[in-house]
Amino acid sequence: MSGVVTHDLPGIGEWTALWRYAVALTVPTKKLQANLEANGLPVMVIAGEPQVRRSDIERFIEERRHEAQTRKIKPAQVPLAAPAEKPAALKPISEKLQEQAAELEALKRQVAELLAARGHR
């Protein structure tokens, strides 16, 4: 038998797909992977997908949240005029998913048109 036998890898049950955390944090998977590796956390690529230990990523996220809270702006430093519109990063996930679904549909139509044009040659 050739290739990697994933069910025999030590502690494979601990590993989970990195993309799930990237989606939840609204950051690119590659950027999250680079941040984890820069902080010395192991990232294993299994079948082309970056995987991380659940306990490692959850601890990493919690540490970053704690750091963000300690750097939080004090009430006296809050700007007087708050922006009326939410920044793009604060959109609800359902709205982001709807936008992505619309983009996917547009791409599907483009692919179908390209395939139809290619078939006419």
- Expressed in percent and rounded to 5, the helix, strand and coil fractions of the chain are 60, 10, 30
Identify the DSSP state of 15. E
Q: Are residues 64 and 101 in the same domain?
A: no
8 A C-beta contact, residue 52 and residue 42:
yes
> By C-alpha distance, which of 59, 68, 70, 48 is closest to 21?
59
Of 26-30, 51-55, 116-120, the least confident: 116-120
Which of the four pLDDT bands, split at 50, 70 and 90, describes residue 105? very high
Q: Which residue has the tokens 């990232």?
A: 43
In contact, 32 and 21? CB cutoff 8 Å: yes
**Do both 104 and 48 map to the same domain?**
no
What pLDDT score does 14 carry?
81
CATH number where 20 lies: 1.10.10
Measured at the CA of 68, the angle between CA 17 and CA 49, to 5 degrees, comes to 10
Q: What pTM did the predictor assign? A: 0.49
Categorize the per-residue pLDDT at 3 as very low, low, confident or very high, splitting at 50, 70 and 90.
very low
Looking at the structure, tell me whether residues 117 and 65 fall in a common domain. Answer: no
Q: Are residues 68 and 41 in the same domain?
A: yes
Is pLDDT at 1 greater than 70 in this prediction?
Answer: no
Q: What is the mean pLDDT of residues 107-118?
A: 89
Q: How far apart are CA 18 and CA 29, in angstroms?
A: 7
Question: Residue 2 falls within a domain, yes or no?
Answer: no
pLDDT of amino acid 109: 92
Three-state secondary-structure class, residue 79: coil
pLDDT of residue 45: 87
Q: Does residue 84 lie in a domain region? A: no
The pLDDT, as a whole number, for residue 52 is 92
Is 78 part of any domain? no
Give yes or no: residues 14 and 55 share one domain.
Answer: yes
Domain range for 106 is 89-121
Q: What are phi and psi of 34, to 5 degrees?
A: -65, -40
User: Does 82 reside within a domain?
Assistant: no
Domain count, the chain: 2
- 31-86: per-residue pLDDT in tens? 999 999 998 989 998 888 999 998 888 899 898 888 888 887 555 554 544 445 55
